[in-house]
Amino acid sequence: MQMLDIILILISLPALVLACALWAAVGYGSARRLGYRPVGAAMVMIAGGASGVVATIVRHPPNSTGLQFLVDFFWLTWLSAVVVTAIILLVLPRRQLRTFGNRRPGFPFARIGQLLVVAGLLLSTVVIAWSVRGSMDSGQAVAGLALAAGFLLPTGRYLQRLGRRADAEATSDQYGVERLEHPVLYLRAFRQEGQFFTIRAASEYGTLPRSWHAAVSKPDQNVGRTFEEYFADALKGSIGPFVALGSPEDYMAPEGAARLYAKDTDWMEHVNVLARNAAAIVVEVGASANLRWEFEYIRQEGLHQKLFVITRPSTEGKWLSWAFWKLVWRIQGSPNVSFREVAASLAPLGYDLAGVDGGPGSVIAFDTDGKALLLTTRAVWPEEFVSPMRDWINERRLTGRCVPASCSRCGRRVYAFPEDTQKARECRDCRYGRPIVRVWKRIASRAYVLIWIVGIVVICGIAVIWPPASGSFFERHIGGVLMVPIVAWSAILMLVLGRMEDPPPLGEPDAVAIGSADDGTTRVAAEPEPKRARALTGGRK
């Protein structure tokens, strides 16, 4: 195989994964936006994917190796699937799915869920019985149990929960949300409510994850949470019931805020009632393009002191996932909006956001004149966002990470809790190195392993390309001779991996007071004397 071929294959594999993911995400989203329900949209994708496979069978490419194989069997299959999916989407008529009043999904979620749970239990029993009898090898047994415990059971339980929720919603009085006391009203453009607010490893959320993806994910897999999923519990616990107007296109109400499905003719009246009752009105930056009417109305009616603008937490460590999803959302027609763009579009409506740092994890409130006020910033967990909001609503007190300070080493602007202002603090760059250094620390171990694999391939490749003379010592002991560099190379890998530092933690705020565990929940006052001295000199910069 040519070297060029190998390089092209190495590039081609991740590109193929990305291309398939894009096809699935964009195709499904487009079908949904044409007015097709999840099942219908999934059928479109299955039809597109199946036609790609059929096209490959019909083409019947000759057996090949290397890059040609990838192109024949994967890239052309992908291309056929994309073309067919695009044609289906162009031909399909747009459907009108706007309905009002309670959602009554016809899909038997609970029944299908029960079936999957029973199937999972049956499969586990059969696998255990067969492997005890010895008619199944351990590999098959592990695969069977993984399918049952990792997919069938969690999916079944998830569908059962959906079923219970759907039943509860179908019979509830949805206008009841207007009679709730001190609710928190969630405003957003409907098409953007499915966008993620945060992406983290499934295990980091603790009890938070509720989506199907989270249920079947491994602990270290990335899972996205929407704004609602992220804040529902924290807002309910600290401020009041979480409510929103529902999108008329919802098949079933998404998890999070309690919804009122208003008619196209009277939704403004319902916004009016909800906004006047509300203790707080929350809006997410980055997904708040088409909210002009709501912002204008809130300012005119003098309700802007209830408004809280919230930005996403830091995306550090998940840049690839974010880049992928932002690309998907852009293709689907709802690009990300930066804080500066939002500030510029709100200025003519009477909101003065100039002079406020809308960095990641910020909550911004407004005073009587519509001037913005930073409540907290660099928040990571729901409570870190919500408790400064609660203290502001109840006591007009600033308790978040909102006091401007500077890093005691580089002088960069950072933010501190009011009680921590006298403490020295270090920014993330000073603690763990610049962003590019932090990225390297996170991927270094994988990069070293890759380099090690390349080295092994090179060592074996040399033996193949320049075979030792037949009958020579090297030829007779080729295995032993190759063992020496392979063992040495592996020892070097172990040595390097053993000396590596831990990657920078992700759930930690930007600036940390030196000598304290500043994670938003435990703020220890202990601070050694020499560091304070350094802080005083550093602070004057």
* Site residues for Zn ion per CB under 5 A: 407, 409-410, 412, 427, 430
Nearer to Zn ion, 279 or 405 (CB): 405
Nearer to Zn ion, 177 or 535 (CB): 535
What one-character DSSP code corresponds to residue 506?
S
Q: How far is the CB of 427 from Zn ion (least distance, A)?
A: 3
Q: How far is the CB of 425 from Zn ion (least distance, A)?
A: 9
Q: How far is the CB of 431 from Zn ion (least distance, A)?
A: 8
Q: Return the structure tokens found at 394.
A: 């109840």
Q: How far is the CB of 515 from Zn ion (least distance, A)?
A: 16
Nearer to Zn ion, 397 or 434 (CB): 434
Give which of 245, 271, 250, 265 is closest to 99, Cα–Cα.
250
Q: How far is the CB of 407 from Zn ion (least distance, A)?
A: 3
Collapsed DSSP state (helix, strand, coil) of residue 473: helix
Element counts in the chain: helices (H) and strands (E): 19, 13
Nearer to Zn ion, 103 or 412 (CB): 412
Q: How far is the CB of 169 from Zn ion (least distance, A)?
A: 50
Spatial separation of the C-alpha atoms in residues 23 and 6, rounded to whole Å: 25
Nearer to Zn ion, 410 or 458 (CB): 410
Spatial separation of the C-alpha atoms in residues 400 and 419, rounded to whole Å: 10
Q: Which amino acid, 8? A: L
Burial pattern 500-518, b for ≥16 Cβ within 10 A else e, equals: eeebbebebbbbbbbbbeb
Q: Is the dihedral of CA 364, 367, 371, 374 positive or negative?
A: negative
Q: How far is the CB of 313 from Zn ion (least distance, A)?
A: 20
What is the SS3 string spanning 309-351? EECCCCCCCCHHHHHHHHHHHHHCCCCCCCHHHHHHHHHHHCC
Q: Where are the alpha helices (DSSP H) in 137-196?
A: 138-147, 153-171
Nearer to Zn ion, 312 or 431 (CB): 431
Nearer to Zn ion, 210 or 412 (CB): 412
Q: Is the dihedral of CA 109, 111, 114, 120 positive or negative?
A: negative
Query: Which residue has 């991740």 as its token pair?
Result: 14
Q: How far is the CB of 412 from Zn ion (least distance, A)?
A: 5
Nearer to Zn ion, 165 or 412 (CB): 412
Indicate the pairing of strand 403-406 with strand 280-284. Answer: unpaired
Q: How far is the CB of 417 from Zn ion (least distance, A)?
A: 18
Q: Which amino acid, 123? A: L
Nearer to Zn ion, 379 or 535 (CB): 535
Spatial separation of the C-alpha atoms in residues 410 and 219, rounded to whole Å: 37
Nearer to Zn ion, 306 or 428 (CB): 428
Spatial separation of the C-alpha atoms in residues 504 and 428, rounded to whole Å: 9
Spatial separation of the C-alpha atoms in residues 37 and 32, rounded to whole Å: 6
Nearer to Zn ion, 370 or 538 (CB): 538
Cα-based distances in Å from 436 to 63, 323, 464, 502: 43, 16, 39, 16
Cα-based distances in Å from 406 to 98, 385, 523: 52, 22, 19
Looking at the DSSP bridge assignments, the partners of residue 258 are: 243
Q: How far is the CB of 527 from Zn ion (least distance, A)?
A: 17
Q: How far is the CB of 443 from Zn ion (least distance, A)?
A: 23
